[in-house]
Amino acid sequence: MTYQQLIFLFVNGLSQGMLLFIIASGLSLVFGVLRVINFAHGSIYMLGAFTAYSVSTLLTTESFFHYLILLLVVPPIIAIVGFFLETLLFRRVYTQEHLIQLLLTYALVLIIDDVVRVIWGGDFRNVARPDLLAGSVDLLGMALPTYNVFILIVGPIIAISLWFLLYRTRVGNIIRAAVTYPDTLGALGVNVSWVMTSTFMLGCWLAGLGGVLMASLANIDLGMGMEKIIESFAVVVIGGLGSIGGALLGSLIIGLGVTFFQLPFGRWALLFPYFIMALVLVVRPWGLFGKPER
Amino acid sequence: MSIIAPEPGIDMQNQLENTTAHKTNWVIGGIVLVLLVLLPFILQTQGRTGEFWIWVTTEMLITALFSMSLNLILGYGGMVSFGHAAYFGTGAYTVALLMKKAHWPLFLALPAAPIAAGIMAALIGWFCVRRIGLYFAILTLAFSQLLYMVVLQWYNFTGGDDGIHGIVRPEFLTPINYYLFCLAIFVLCFIFMRMIVNSSFGLTIRTIRENMERATFIGINVRRLQWINFIIAGAFAGIAGGLLAELNRFSQTEYLHWSRSAEPILASLVGGMYSLVGPAIGSAFLIFLKIILQQLHRSLVEVWAIILGCILLIMVLFLPDGLVGLYSRIFKKNVS
Amino acid sequence: MANDILVVDNLSKSFDGAPVFNNVSFSIAEGELSSIIGPNGAGKTTMFNLITGHLIPDEGRILFKGKNIAGMQPFDIVRLGMARAFQRTNIFPRMTVLENLVATIISKQRLTLNILTPFKSLKRIHQRSFEILESVGLADMAHRVSGTLAHGSQKILDIAVALALEPKLLLLDEPTAGMSPEERKQTVDLVADLWEKLNITMLFIEHDMDIVFGISQKIRVLCYKTILAEGTPDEISSNHKVIEAYLGEEV
């Protein structure tokens, strides 16, 4: 394998990892604040991708401007869906046992996946890359797909923004406090249900963004939600639930791992997330960043 | 006589204190069994619709067994598994592969199904029980999806997308006889599960569900017992899968798909998680519902998953104790 | 010493870098009825969690009957003969009072893997369970679902469950927390009575100083991340370090 191929794979794997991070960080964030693992997070991401497809058919040209509209419009639509999910459904089960919460999100997987199938059908689809991002860029004498490079720029921006939001703003302080001391927040005069709703919306916004970005990276189909939710699970098993840094590391490991394992193993590389998950469970059952607990 | 006042639907064994209730249960069980034995002979007189219904009731028995197997870990063990289809599918593929590729007869291939499924459950469960609670649910789903993908990709061995077709049916197993065969296995499994649930092991599993921390501090090796329970549940699911493969005479990836894991969960919720028969009743109810919807309008079956999801939502939000719980709530039976 | 059933040797534990204990050492003689007191947040329950294996110490040894149990699994420690009752009631709420005990004895006798015999047919275990319930005064509630009992009775049941394990060492974490004065007295009498009858070692945490000084043979004061003082009730009540620590906390 040449040096160039290696770089090419590296960029490809990194962009896959960044995309996974955008989705998994939403899952992790929602868990941190709401203490609910949202099994429907992958379905929400899929909804985002298909919504992007539909919106793109309305925008006839492939200009970057139209793509920008896609990026700006679709994630908020998904966030609004999230608003309704949270206020109408999730809110009712916060005080219930885990079993009930898990089953609720599982019911949403059944519903959303089938709604997507009924509306869009089972065909492969994609959103054409905008002209500005369709070609390739020259880097060190290599032609790298502009779109992958674009994702490599968007991913860190999201990561830094999330970090800034969580650690440098008042809202972030509240969210982090909600993670650590869920009971005392109400006493401090913070509207806890508002924090929860907006966190859930943020999580859905991230899933929606992941969907839009994915729609132009590869073909989208009905299996994509399940695929990404399981990769996200692998990410949280590796990095620990509720940790943004852990989500970033886990995502990059999986993105790079799947890409590089494609060389020797072909399509079997898709099994990589499962193996790394099993490995982490054997070596450090509490996750790479977690602490041993009983 | 002390007042027995459990929460609705939780009263699993306490009823048995009361010997009259105990006897009534046996009488009802006997009547139901007689009816189930007679059923295909009645249906047979109905011509082609009768044949269809014999097939449906056979499938009901099989899915009822599948649901009951899940409930050993879900209701009795308090472990939410979203990947129970893995063991169902393992059973189905075991029967299909052994009969089709190794030309084993059914009576040898079928006993291999629970063994293979049990081994699979032991392998996967070993990882899953290392993390309890939320992570357990995540891992069961992930590993069942792993199995699904392996079967899908490994075309030479499993037939991938196409599945394995043309499983032989021994000649004496007419639809009626196969129904009776499944019924016999169902009853045997039921009796066996009842023994397990009422045994020391069953009580211990309940203590873990009730209070894992306390269970540890009365000296129970929680992880190990959960693992064993997981294996037992997987083995029973394997029997169900093997029976379905023979009924349909094929095995396909759909048997391993995550959506198949949803059905026993739903059946357990609908029928009531804290009883042995609850999930069986729940799954029979769901199949009935599916067929009724089919009769009403074909397109309703197209959105079956949406309907399942909505039922699940309603159950979760309003009736977490299931229909049995609803019954006791309405009639004020066993309500504290 | 040979007749020490529990020896805590140079135990250290910290959470996220903040030390809870620094080199704590003490030992408990066999047959002793003793208590641990200390201001809120001194780590009394944490100490119990370390002894019972719920937490793993950072450093140091815990010898139980001469065997180092630091880092062992909690259920293994239970099987060596240590039992524990909890501060918050910790029972199996949706099982009957009797089943709570039966399950415990089944675990004690290592019958948990028996999948063939109905647990209801284990006559001896049921008999034994009834005896224990009688000894703590819960026999007439045997068939009630335990979660429906009054709080005081649930705490007694928690103790009964611990007793069913026939422990050599019984740890009681605030046995009278949340009880009415009347229930308190009954519980204290019960504990003292059981201790005399059963000839076991008991160690308890308690906030009520009347109880502590009333029944303890020995008192250990846990404060400032270590054992501040140790001695008979008389010695402790005249120890000026203890008085200081307590006054400092309450002012």
Chain B residues lying within 8 Å of A226, measured CB to CB? 145, 258
Q: Looking at the predicted structure, is the pLDDT value of residue A188 above 70? A: no
CA distance A160 to chain C (A): 26
What is the token pair recorded at B38?
Answer: 């007679």
Q: ipTM of the predicted structure?
A: 0.90
DSSP state, residue B334? S
- 3-class state of residue A200 by DSSP: helix
Q: Is some CB atom of chain B closer than 8 A to the CB atom of A238?
A: no
What is the token pair recorded at A198?
Answer: 């907006």
Among A51-65, B116-130, C198-212, which range has the highest average pLDDT? B116-130
* Residue ranges of chain C whose pLDDT lies below 50: 250-251
- 3-class state of residue B193 by DSSP: helix
B202 → chain C, closest CA residue: C115
B213 → chain A, closest CA residue: A294
Distances (CA, A) of C185 to A169, B33, B109, C180, C211: 53, 57, 66, 9, 9
Q: How many residues does chain A have?
A: 294
Q: Is some CB atom of chain B closer than 8 A to the CB atom of C88?
A: no
Q: What is the mean pLDDT of residues B320-326?
A: 62
C contact test, residue of A97, A180, A289, A294 with most C CBs within 10 A: A294
Predicted confidence at residue A126, as pLDDT, reads 85
- 3-class state of residue A56 by DSSP: helix
Residue B31 neighbours by CB distance under 10 Å: 10
Q: Using CA atoms, how far apart are residues C102 and C97, in angstroms rounded to an integer?
A: 9
Between positions 105 and 164 of C, the ones with CB within 8 A of B are 106-108, 111-120, 122, 140-145, 147-148, 161, 164
Chain A residues lying within 8 Å of C74, measured CB to CB? 294
Chain B residues lying within 8 Å of A98, measured CB to CB? 80, 133-134
**B300 pLDDT band (50/70/90 cuts)?**
confident
**A87 pLDDT band (50/70/90 cuts)?**
very high
CA distance A277 to chain B (A): 9
Give me the helices (H) in C111-203, please: 123-136, 151-164, 181-198
Predicted confidence at residue B7, as pLDDT, reads 39
The model's pLDDT over B7-23, given as tens digits with 9 standing for 90+, comes to 333 344 444 445 566 77
Distances (CA, A) of B35 to A218, B28, B38, B39, B43: 56, 11, 5, 6, 12
Predicted confidence at residue A207, as pLDDT, reads 96
The phi-psi region of residue A13 (left if phi > 0; otherwise alpha if psi is between -120 and 50; otherwise beta) is alpha
Predicted confidence at residue C242, as pLDDT, reads 80
- 3-class state of residue B249 by DSSP: coil
The model's pLDDT over A233-244, given as tens digits with 9 standing for 90+, comes to 889 888 877 778
Q: Looking at the predicted structure, is the pLDDT value of residue A94 above 90? A: no
- Based on C-alpha coordinates, what's the Rg of chain B? 20
Q: Which residues pair with A138 in a beta bridge?
A: A143
Q: Using CA atoms, how far apart are residues A227 and B142, in angstroms rounded to an integer?
A: 9
The model's pLDDT over A111-142, given as tens digits with 9 standing for 90+, comes to 999 999 999 988 888 888 888 888 888 877 77
Q: Using CA atoms, how far apart are residues B23 and B187, in angstroms rounded to an integer?
A: 18
Are the C-beta atoms of residues C198 and C163 closer than 8 Å to each other? yes
Partner-chain contact A277 B153, CB within 8 Å:
no
Q: Is some CB atom of chain A closer than 8 A to the CB atom of B80?
A: yes
Q: What is the mean pLDDT of residues B156-166?
A: 88
| String of DSSP letters for A90-110 | GGGGTTS-HHHHHHHHHHHHH
Q: Which residues of B80-92 are buried (b: 16+ CB within 10 A; e: fewer)?
A: bbbbbbbbbbbbb
The model's pLDDT over B239-262, given as tens digits with 9 standing for 90+, comes to 999 999 999 999 999 999 988 998
Between positions 115 and 154 of B, the ones with CB within 8 A of A are 127, 130-131, 133-135, 137-139, 141-143, 145-146, 149-150, 153
Q: Is some CB atom of chain B closer than 8 A to the CB atom of A8?
A: no
Partner-chain contact B2 C113, CB within 8 Å:
no
Q: Which of C170, A37, A202, A200 is nearest to B218 (CA)?
A: C170
Predicted confidence at residue A251, as pLDDT, reads 94
As a whole number of angstroms, the longest Cα–Cα distance in chain A is 61
Q: Is some CB atom of chain B closer than 8 A to the CB atom of C104?
A: yes
Partner-chain contact C54 A292, CB within 8 Å:
no
Partner-chain contact B137 A37, CB within 8 Å:
yes
The model's pLDDT over B260-289, given as tens digits with 9 standing for 90+, comes to 998 899 899 888 888 889 899 999 999 988
C140 → chain B, closest CA residue: B2
DSSP state, residue B102? S
Give me the helices (H) in chain B, please: 19-44, 47-74, 85-100, 106-128, 134-153, 155-158, 175-198, 200-210, 212-216, 222-248, 258-271, 278-296, 298-302, 304-318, 322-330
The model's pLDDT over A4-49, given as tens digits with 9 standing for 90+, comes to 788 888 888 999 999 999 999 999 888 888 888 899 999 999 999 9
**A292 pLDDT band (50/70/90 cuts)?**
low
Between positions 156 and 215 of A, the ones with CB within 8 A of B are none
CA distance C148 to chain A (A): 19
B151 → chain A, closest CA residue: A268
Q: Looking at the predicted structure, is the pLDDT value of residue B336 above 60? A: no
A240 → chain B, closest CA residue: B135
As a whole number of angstroms, the longest Cα–Cα distance in chain B is 66
**B71 pLDDT band (50/70/90 cuts)?**
very high
Q: How many A-B residue pairs are in contact by the CB < 8 A criterion?
A: 105
B201 → chain C, closest CA residue: C112
Predicted confidence at residue C251, as pLDDT, reads 35
Higher pLDDT, B68 or B78: B68
A293 → chain C, closest CA residue: C55
- Helix-, strand-, coil-residue percentages of chain A, each rounded to 5: 75, 5, 20
Q: Using CA atoms, how far apart are residues B255 and B164, in angstroms rounded to an integer?
A: 12
Predicted confidence at residue A178, as pLDDT, reads 74
Partner-chain contact A104 B316, CB within 8 Å:
yes
Chain B residues lying within 8 Å of A102, measured CB to CB? 80, 82, 134, 137
Q: Across the interface, which of C53, C56, C74 has its CB nearest the CB of A292? A: C56
C contact test, residue of B17, B216, B218, B231 with most C CBs within 10 A: B218
Partner-chain contact B217 C78, CB within 8 Å:
yes
Q: Using CA atoms, how far apart are residues A85 and C95, in angstroms rounded to an integer?
A: 36
Q: Which residues pair with C220 in a beta bridge?
A: C36, C230
Lowest mean pLDDT among A186-195, B17-26, B301-310: B17-26
Partner-chain contact C54 A294, CB within 8 Å:
yes
Q: Is some CB atom of chain C closer than 8 A to the CB atom of A294?
A: yes
Q: Looking at the predicted structure, is the pLDDT value of residue A261 above 70? A: yes
Partner-chain contact B146 A274, CB within 8 Å:
yes
Distances (CA, A) of C81 to B216, C63, C109, C160: 14, 13, 12, 15
Distances (CA, A) of B237 to B36, B234, B279: 21, 5, 13
Q: Looking at the predicted structure, is the pLDDT value of residue B330 above 70? A: no
Q: Looking at the predicted structure, is the pLDDT value of residue B99 above 90? A: yes
Partner-chain contact C75 B219, CB within 8 Å:
yes
Higher pLDDT, B233 or C20: B233
Residue A83 neighbours by CB distance under 10 Å: 15
Chain B residues lying within 8 Å of A233, measured CB to CB? 138-139, 141-142
The pLDDT mean for chain B works out to 86
- Chains in contact with B, counting 3 or more C-beta pairs less than 8 Å apart as contact: A, C
Q: Is some CB atom of chain A closer than 8 A to the CB atom of B310?
A: yes
Q: What is the mean pLDDT of residues B78-100?
A: 94
Predicted confidence at residue A223, as pLDDT, reads 87
Backbone angles phi, psi at C110, to 5 degrees: 60, 45
A291 → chain C, closest CA residue: C16
The model's pLDDT over A154-169, given as tens digits with 9 standing for 90+, comes to 999 999 998 898 888 8
Are the C-beta atoms of residues A42 and B82 closer than 8 Å to each other? no
Predicted confidence at residue A173, as pLDDT, reads 83
Are the C-beta atoms of residues C80 and C66 closer than 8 Å to each other? no
Q: Across the interface, which of B146, B305, B312 has its CB nearest the CB of A114? A: B305
Distances (CA, A) of B19 to B14, B147, B298: 10, 46, 48
Predicted confidence at residue B2, as pLDDT, reads 34
Q: Looking at the predicted structure, is the pLDDT value of residue B328 above 60? A: no
